Structure 1
Amino acid sequence: MTVTKIRRSLHGRELRKGYTTGACATAAALGALNRIFDDSSADEISILLPIGERATFSLLHHEIGEGFAIVGVIKDAGDDPDCTHGAEIIAKVCVTHQPGVRFFAGSGVATVTLPGLELEVGEPAINPVPRKMIESHLIPLLSHYGFSGADVTISIPGGEELAKQTIGERLGLRGGLSILGTRGTVHPYSTSAYAASVRQGVQVAAKQNLRHMVLTTGSRTEKQAMLIHSTLPQTSFIQAGDFIGVGLRASAKYAMTHVELVVMIGKLCKLACGTMMTHVTGRQIDFTHLAELLRGHTQDPAVIGEVAQARTGRQLLSIVEHHEFSRAFLTDICRQAAIHSFIYAHKKLVVSIRLIDFDGSTLAQATYGDS
């Protein structure tokens, strides 16, 4: 799927990009440091993003005291469906004569409690790139005014509640949200933060010596997957959403041996056609291809024609579900999805596909890659 397709809404409008929590935290921290050295500093701040672009942020000045200041930035995620859009990212900066910048988790920012992430257990969940951004902006100014370092505490009011909308707790991130971002910008529907959390979920599972991952597309499929695989630890399950391909590649990278995808019919049809990024704004289902697959199960031209003209996976299911060949055809679709997934994961994994219905019942399943 091209970037152009991702960035366009269903109505064809160019969607507006936003900024990461890491960029907002950097702007707030620099604004706070400026405030310490000049209490009449501007209400806007410009920072350099990792991609080489400059961005300007409005500042909310909260408090200033002897050697410290507290400044906030309201996160603008653009048109990306991000739970942190509109949240305030607050930085408290205290200048010190201890070399370097030290980071602390304030209210609403998580602490790392499980191994497997880029940060050590016990560290505030301020990821490496945002840390480097903050350091690169603060250290020159600190040096200019004769200070060796600073303590930086990042807070997000309401962050602990917002974190319930993420998979952070499953990754061992307790107490709130992570400060994320490798580019500084967020592109609509690329949802890079979500993709990163899928990768991190696999990495955490690998650190716990798990080798069987279960990727699901949402809460309904995950709930059923957990009932089916009740003996697996919670860390084995990841809501990959539209990022099935990300989960497969990460599983291959971190030496998983078996990945099961638990999906519903719409996502299954896209996977069977080789589409690993399954967002609704992306590539549509190739029903002509699925109709050709159906020819291996029936020669009824009316049914084949209906499938070829279907508009959704749910419609396809309603066309075939009452025919004798239904289960065999759905199993064939699962097998095609498993083959594409196996290839996408560099042929390093056994891949199982399980198709479930709205009521949680298994309609079909297939496995590929098992020697």
Structure 2
Amino acid sequence: MTRKPKGELRRGWTTGACATAATKAALIGLWGGDVPDRVSIVLPKGEVFETPITISDRGDGWVSVGITKDAGDDPDVTHGALIIAKVSVSDGGVQFRAGDGVGIVTKAGLPIAVGEAAINPVPRAMMDDVVGEVAADYAATPDVCIEISVPNGAVIAEKTWNPRLGIKGGLSILGTTGIVRPFSCAAWIASIHRGIDVARAGGVTHVAGCTGATSETTVQKLYDLPDHAMLDMGDFAGGMLKYLNKNPIERVTIGGGIGKLTKLAQGAVDLHSSRSQVDFAALADMAGIPALKDANTVLEAYTIAGPPLAKAIADLALTRVQSAYPAMQFDIVVIDRAGAIIGRAGL
């Protein structure tokens, strides 16, 4: 399990910020002659990102610059990745291309059109801005092709949500602020939202959000759901449910281990152990077994009470979510650590 380092956490920089900085340095090399040793850009909220150049190269009519991404103390899979921007003159305006290791969008529902490079709107706007800035500095015409690549990006992307979202061949170039805040929930929740968008755009009528890999495997097999119907809910039940409430899908399955689903049944929407706890006294009252109030874990309570407890938890969780979000039809699947179903409620 990844643990937070002690002390103040060091923030990092998004792939979008790195791609923008690399683009600026490459443009300086294209129009000014020499690639600088360091480059700085202004991020969307006014903060300045300054970074050294890792590599640079040039050829007939093009310049490329690579910057090593520093994600700070965040356990980001792209930490240490080389983000390369290759710039050349376009046949009109700013154009974006996916180089090696950057994905192509293949499914509707994302903020980038199908067939386009998986470079999100904010990074595109940031790069567009530096094209204008550097073009003005060198009295150049701002007609530029920007190709972003990430060596080994296709391999790294297998550890992300990209394959499920229909982004093929590599990573997405992301970031709304340019800054990676260590252990932020925002990126995970944003990925859940994009998963819902893709499912809706694809006409999916049944999705499933699960607390982990084991429950996901069980639920996907149970209902024979495609990958793009599976939402990586994790601990963020609230993040998923609130977005679904605004962007409903006909049927929603929630699957997970008995401990996390007990918290959901008791009203928690953030299921992480540091942010919600099981009320064992309430669990004992619900099951009518006073001994459960002294249990250390829900799993221990289950060994005492048996399958009826799992069923009662599933029923209560179903009541909670169904009453809160009546526009959708829910069902609950409770599993044990081996992935066996020990309780169900709903469809």
Structure 1 length normalisation: TM-score? Answer: 0.86
Does residue 1:298 correspond to 2:292, yes or no? no
What is the aligned partner in structure 1 of residue 301 from structure 2?
Answer: 319
**Change beyond 3 A, Cα 1:138–1:268:** same
**Structure 1 segment 172-251 matched on structure 2, within 5 A:** 172-230=166-224, 232-251=225-244
Q: What CA deviation, in whole Å up to 9, does each residue of 1:305-333 have, x standing for no partner?
A: 313xx2xxxx322233243xx33333332
Could you list the runs of 4 or more consecutive aligned residues of structure 1 that deviate by over 4 angstroms after TM superposition?
Answer: 9-12
Cα distance in structure 2, aligned partners of 1:43 and 1:11: 31
Does residue 1:336 correspond to 2:316, yes or no? yes
What is the aligned partner in structure 2 of residue 4 from structure 1?
Answer: none
Contact 1:186 1:192 in 2 (8 A): no
1:63 is paired with a residue whose SS is strand
Shift of 1:119: 1.1
Alignment RMSD (CA, Å): 2.2
Q: Larger deviation: 150-159 or 213-222?
A: 213-222
What is the aligned partner in structure 1 of residue 334 from structure 2?
Answer: 355
What is the aligned partner in structure 2 of residue 103 from structure 1?
Answer: 96
Unaligned runs of 5+ in 2: none
Whichever residue aligns with residue 197 of structure 1, its letter is S
Shift of 1:10: 5.2
Unaligned runs of 5+ in 1: 1-8
What is the aligned partner in structure 1 of residue 276 from structure 2?
Answer: 284
Contact 2:69 2:82 in 1 (8 A): yes
Structure 2 length normalisation: TM-score? Answer: 0.91
Cα distance in structure 2, aligned partners of 1:265 and 1:189: 25
Cα distance in structure 1, aligned partners of 2:136 and 2:92: 10
Whichever residue aligns with residue 316 of structure 1, its letter is V
Contact 2:280 2:292 in 1 (8 A): no
Q: What CA deviation, in whole Å up to 9, does each residue of 1:255-294 have, x standing for no partner?
A: 21221111012322332343323334x3131x3x332232
Q: Which among 54, 65, 69 is matched to residue 60 of structure 1?
A: 54
What is the aligned partner in structure 2 of residue 93 from structure 1?
Answer: 87
Does residue 1:265 correspond to 2:253, yes or no? no
Cα distance in structure 1, aligned partners of 2:250 and 2:256: 20
2:84 is paired with a residue whose SS is strand
1:36 is paired with a residue whose SS is helix
Q: What CA deviation, in whole Å up to 9, does each residue of 1:108-131 have, x standing for no partner?
A: 000011111111111000011110
Contact 2:104 2:115 in 1 (8 A): yes
Whichever residue aligns with residue 54 of structure 1, its letter is V
Q: Which among 63, 76, 79 is matched to residue 82 of structure 1?
A: 76
Contact 1:181 1:193 in 2 (8 A): no
Aligned length, in residue pairs: 344
Q: What is the percent sequence identity of the aligned residues?
A: 37
Cα distance in structure 1, aligned partners of 2:258 and 2:133: 55
2:287 is paired with a residue whose SS is coil
**Structure 1 segment 19-168 matched on structure 2, within 5 A:** 19-96=13-90, 98-144=91-137, 145-168=139-162
Shift of 1:72: 0.8
Whichever residue aligns with residue 161 of structure 1, its letter is V
Shift of 1:132: 0.4
